[in-house]
């Protein structure tokens, strides 16, 4: 019986080689002699995609036949990272493909480098969405990720003269082999115009919306395969286009340019990702993006409901819709509108379905990041939604009155409309009222939501609140990014941990095994060596591989306090200048991260770090004891290179500001020790790894509030702390700015006279803790032991655990295993 492997599905080295050459020829239209690296990358991507398609279609068929309950994860951002390597890991063919391409004279790492990652997110929130999609596929949970296919994702960051410069991210310029456009499933979204009341044939009051503009949304689907399962779920991203029929009038009247203009205006909608992750500025285009992708997605779900012969009254049984922050919170009003205006449903039933379908995740404690839309702008773009929101608000405030009689201040605070000055729609309130679940992303964050940011809503609906501590996928952030550590771990405890991260616990049995400890240490050392080479090439800086690799990689924000880290660097520098022979533990300070283009202070902090680097790295007194490296253009691809090389992970936000953090988890999972405040998920990480294996410092969230309430005076700290004063004076003197004493003045003034994020209050505790870190690092066996215990005890922070908890507590959904049909 002859077995022939299909060139589109076979997984043997021979078959992969054949398929690869076939795709090079028939898809790229090239042969080896003239093929570029990109041609090879594309040929390999199509070879892998073919293997995904079989699983993807199988999955779709089974979900359709069974009308499976499905999670819709609505997110304005998905920071997926490169697909190729991840798909190789999840298909379980990394080694076979490596061999296949090497037999053709190519290097797999080289081809992986070619991929332009889809940077369709800013940071934590977008990356969390991507980890969750990986875990849902791995746990065989039917799910759809819905978002926007931005033509330009997060900008590329260049550094010129120490300053951040933004460059447009043209991630689609070579095409995207991972997506399939589905123009036949396009959906139309209305914007602007006005509403008219009328009485329908049954004598009921109805509203008709006459829009000013209609936009067409075209879905682009990407398959997302689970780890060693046959489940391939879908990421469905919408592109905005002009509807072909809408501009016919202009076209026919000979107004060709007018018609093309219309097309350009429409396409603007999905043109670019907003690069802010801090302040909500009330931009019309951003609100248009939100309604665009939310309406497309909800209409798509309704189409699926009808397609599977599920009555619309059971929408909430077929779908549960998770709102990733308030960016998709307009879904509350849009689902009401679709059910009532478009599908003839009554208010009460529509409201019940809406609440049962929607669930809301909050990701921020920064008051300035809570989204609000000026009523005027909102009503202009979404006149019907504003009416619906007013009506929801009326019913809601009646409910509040019933529960809390004679409390008009509470009504004012809780209203969906902020009427304290210019009127605004409060999106977090809309999300809370319209959802059956409200969750924070770490235990402390959820507690602070309940006590502070959403206190009134907690008192109104305590049963809606729950915590879901974030997690990260071990597939991308260990198996793919750290193969050496992966192999060492699996050689000791097998490979079950990849799907069952709690199994890392079994590593504890080896913590006293000197052979294992020495392997652990030499792996970290080898990875650091790779980063040394990269830094030499990228930054031209020679780094001591035996120094502590002290890394802070995350968006630049004052609350994250990269400048506190900078104050520590200058403290060490000052000690060396005062005593050139001082015995200090060598350190390499590595920074990575982007600042929002309009965030002046964050950009000035980047400039400060680069300026410190220029001086410190070239001062002969320093020798090779301190180096400061800013790695430009931090991205998922880049993060995968950085986490494995870290000795020390900086998680130093002011307590009470970082909702969770997820970088903290990725570092610790790769054997870095954490220096951190009791903020976000740091609290839980410390709990898990043990306080003796975690470097904690600084004020706690309640201490922060108390200090601020007492009246915080940063100048007092400056005057009473000799080292702190010397650090500030050193910057002020122009030492890092070629004598320019004005350059960093705005930053210094903000610290000396406001210091909103309490750097001065935490300075001494931070320095003391860092001195302790330096001391511990000198005992290399102790450090290695701590590193092993960190990894062994990080099992809780798999996104598989998070998703499992969402399934149980919020989504009420079970797995649907997929068999691979012949």
Positions touching ligand 26W (CB under 6 A) are 122-125, 128, 276-277, 280, 325, 363-364, 369, 371, 441, 470, 658-662, 680
What is the length of the chain?
A: 822
Are the beta carbons of 292 and 148 closer than 8 angstroms? yes
Q: Side by side, which strands form the sheet with 417-418?
A: 372-374, 424-426, 417-418
- Angstrom distance (rounded) from CA 556 to CA 562: 7
Q: Least distance (Å) from ligand 26W to the CB of residue 370?
A: 8
Q: Least distance (Å) from ligand 26W to the CB of residue 704?
A: 16
Three-state DSSP at 146 gives strand
Q: What is the separation of C-alpha 585 from the centre of its chain, rounded to a whole number of angstroms?
A: 34
Q: Least distance (Å) from ligand 26W to the CB of residue 366?
A: 8
Start-end of H helices in 651-809: 663-669, 682-689, 701-710, 714-720, 722-732, 745-753, 759-778, 780-792, 799-806
**Which of 510, 806 has the CB closer to ligand 26W?**
806
Q: Which secondary-structure segment (H or E) carries 302?
A: helix 284-307
**Which of 369, 696 has the CB closer to ligand 26W?**
369
Q: Least distance (Å) from ligand 26W to the CB of residue 724?
A: 28
Residue 560: active-site member = yes
Q: Least distance (Å) from ligand 26W to the CB of residue 381?
A: 17
Q: Least distance (Å) from ligand 26W to the CB of residue 44?
A: 32
Residue 170: active-site member = no
Q: What b/e string do you get for 329-341 counting C-beta neighbours within 10 Å, with b at 16 or more? A: bbbbbbbbbbbbb
**Which of 122, 234 has the CB closer to ligand 26W?**
122
**Which of 300, 371 has the CB closer to ligand 26W?**
371
**Which of 85, 680 has the CB closer to ligand 26W?**
680
In this structure, is the dihedral angle defined by the CA atoms of residues 529, 533, 535 and 541, taken in order, positive or negative?
A: positive
**Which of 300, 658 has the CB closer to ligand 26W?**
658
Residue 363: active-site member = yes
173 contact partners, CB below 8 Å, separation of at least 6 = 116
Burial of residue 421, with CB atoms counted within 10 A of its CB: 0-12 exposed, 13-18 middle, 19 or more buried: exposed
Closest by Cα among 239, 297, 237 to 80: 237
In the block, residue with structure tokens 């279609």:
57
Q: Least distance (Å) from ligand 26W to the CB of residue 773?
A: 23
Residue 410: active-site member = no
- Angstrom distance (rounded) from CA 89 to CA 87: 5
Report DSSP letters for 282-299, one per residue.
Answer: --HHHHHHHHHHHHHHHH
Q: Least distance (Å) from ligand 26W to the CB of residue 637?
A: 19
Q: Which residue is nearest to ligand 26W (CB)?
A: 124
Given 69, 127, 555, 603, which residue is catalytic?
A: 555
626 contact partners, CB below 8 Å, separation of at least 6 = 569, 572, 573, 576, 586, 587, 588, 589, 616
Given 476, 666, 793, 796, which residue is catalytic?
A: 666
Q: Least distance (Å) from ligand 26W to the CB of residue 325?
A: 5
Q: Where are the beta strands (DSSP E) in 546-658?
A: 548-553, 587-592, 626-631, 648-651
**Which of 365, 788 has the CB closer to ligand 26W?**
365
**Which of 610, 653 has the CB closer to ligand 26W?**
653
Closest by Cα among 336, 322, 472, 317 to 391: 336
**Which of 21, 443 has the CB closer to ligand 26W?**
443
400 contact partners, CB below 8 Å, separation of at least 6 = 407, 410, 411, 414, 460
- Angle between helical axes of 722-732 and 759-778 (0-180°, round to 10): 110
Given 318, 429, 554, 561, which residue is catalytic?
A: 554
**Which of 441, 668 has the CB closer to ligand 26W?**
441
Q: Where are the beta strands (DSSP E) in 331-436?
A: 358-361, 372-374, 417-418, 424-426
Are the beta carbons of 597 and 155 closer than 8 angstroms? yes
Given 560, 561, 603, 637, which residue is catalytic?
A: 560
In the block, residue with structure tokens 């997506």:
179
Show contacts of 492-498: CB within 8 Å, 24+ apart.
492/516, 497/795, 498/227, 498/474
Q: Least distance (Å) from ligand 26W to the CB of residue 465?
A: 16
Q: Least distance (Å) from ligand 26W to the CB of residue 599?
A: 12
**Which of 239, 289 has the CB closer to ligand 26W?**
289
Closest by Cα among 653, 660, 125 to 442: 660
Residues designated as active site: 363, 554-555, 560, 662, 666
């Amino acid at each position: 019986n002859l077995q022939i492997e299909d060139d589109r599905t076979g997984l043997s080295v021979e078959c992969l080689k054949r398929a690869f050459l076939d795709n090079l020829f028939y898809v790229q239209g090239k042969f080896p002699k003239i093929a570029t690296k990109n041609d090879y990358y594309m040929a390999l991507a199509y070879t892998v995609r073919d293997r995904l398609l079989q699983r993807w279609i199988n999955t779709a068929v089974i979900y359709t036949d069974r009308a499976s309950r499905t999670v819709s994860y609505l997110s304005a951002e998905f920071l997926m990272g490169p697909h190729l390597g991840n798909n190789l890991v999840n298909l379980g063919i990394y080694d076979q493909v490596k061999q296949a391409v090497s037999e053709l004279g190519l290097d797999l790492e080289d081809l992986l480098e070619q991929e332009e990652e889809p940077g369709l997110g800013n940071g934590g929130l977008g990356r969390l969405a991507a980890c969750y999609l990986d875990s849902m596929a791995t746990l065989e949970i039917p799910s759809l990720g819905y978002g926007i296919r931005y033509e330009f994702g997060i900008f590329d960051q260049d550094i010129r003269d120490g300053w951040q410069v933004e460059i447009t991210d043209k991630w689609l310029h070579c095409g995207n082999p991972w997506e399939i456009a589905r123009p036949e499933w396009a959906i139309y979204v209305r914007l602007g115009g006005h509403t008219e009341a009328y009485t329908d044939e049954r004598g009921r009051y109805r509203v008709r919306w006459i829009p000013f503009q209609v936009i067409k949304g075209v879905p682009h689907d990407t398959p997302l395969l689970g780890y060693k399962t046959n489940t391939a779920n879908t990421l469905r991203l919408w592109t905005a286009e002009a509807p072909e029929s809408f501009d016919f009038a202009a076209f026919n009247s000979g107004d060709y340019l007018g018609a093309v203009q219309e097309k350009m205006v429409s396409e603007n909608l999905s043109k670019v990702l907003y690069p802010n992750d801090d302040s909500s500025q009330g931009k019309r285009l951003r609100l248009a993006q939100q309604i665009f992708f939310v309406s497309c997605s909800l209409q798509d779900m309704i189409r699926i409901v009808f397609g599977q012969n599920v009555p619309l009254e059971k929408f909430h049984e077929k779908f549960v819709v998770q709102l990733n922050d308030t960016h998709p919170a307009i879904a509350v009003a849009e689902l009401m509108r679709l059910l009532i205006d478009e599908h003839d449903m009554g208010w009460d039933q529509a409201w019940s379905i809406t609440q049962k379908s929607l669930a809301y995740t909050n990701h921020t404690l920064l008051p300035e990041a809570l989204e609000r839309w000026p009523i005027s702008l909102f009503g202009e773009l979404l006149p019907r939604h504003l009416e619906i929101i007013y009506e929801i608000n009326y019913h809601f405030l009646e409910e509040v009155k019933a529960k809390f009689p004679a409390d008009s201040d509470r009504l004012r605070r809780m209203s969906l409309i902020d009427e304290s000055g210019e009127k605004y729609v409060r999106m977090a309130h809309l999300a809370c009222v319209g959802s059956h679940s409200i969750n924070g992303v770490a235990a402390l964050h959820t507690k602070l939501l309940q006590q502070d940011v959403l206190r009134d809503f907690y008192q109104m609906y305590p049963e809606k609140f729950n915590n879901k501590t974030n997690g990260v996928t071990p597939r991308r952030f260990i198996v793919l990014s750290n193969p050496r550590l992966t192999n060492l771990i699996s050689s000791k405890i097998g490979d079950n941990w990849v799907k069952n991260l709690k199994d890392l616990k079994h590593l504890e049995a080896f913590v006293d095994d000197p052979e294992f400890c020495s392997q652990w240490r030499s792996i970290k050392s080898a990875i650091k060596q790779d980063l040394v080479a990269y830094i030499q090439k990228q930054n031209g800086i020679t780094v001591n591989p035996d120094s502590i690799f002290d890394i802070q990689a995350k968006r630049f924000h004052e609350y994250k306090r990269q400048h506190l880290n900078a104050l520590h660097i200058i403290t060490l520098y000052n000690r060396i200048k005062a005593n050139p022979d001082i015995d200090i533990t060598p350190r390499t300070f590595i920074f990575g991260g982007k600042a929002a283009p309009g965030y002046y202070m964050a950009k000035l902090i980047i400039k400060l770090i680069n300026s410190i680097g220029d001086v410190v790295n070239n001062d002969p007194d320093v020798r090779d004891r301190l180096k400061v490296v800013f790695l430009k253009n931090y991205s998922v691809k880049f993060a995968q290179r950085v986490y494995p090389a870290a000795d020390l992970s900086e998680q130093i936000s002011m307590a009470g500001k970082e909702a969770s953090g997820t970088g903290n988890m990725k570092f610790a999972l790769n054997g870095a020790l954490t220096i951190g405040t009791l903020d976000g998920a740091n609290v839980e990480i410390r709990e898990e790894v043990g306080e003796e294996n975690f470097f904690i410092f600084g004020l706690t969230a309640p201490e922060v509030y108390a200090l601020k309430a007492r009246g915080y005076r940063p100048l007092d700290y400056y005057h009473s702390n000799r080292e702190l004063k010397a650090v500030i004076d050193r910057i002020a003197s122009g030492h890092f700015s070629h004598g320019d004493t004005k350059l960093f003045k705005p930053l210094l003034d903000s610290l000396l006279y406001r210091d909103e994020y309490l750097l001065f209050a935490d300075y001494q505790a931070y320095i003391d803790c860092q001195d302790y870190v330096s001391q511990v690092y000198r005992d290399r066996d102790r450090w290695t032991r701590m590193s092993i215990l960190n990894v062994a005890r990080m099992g809780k922070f798999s996104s598989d655990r998070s998703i499992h908890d969402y399934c149980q507590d919020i989504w009420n959904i079970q797995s649907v295993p997929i068999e691979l049909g012949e």
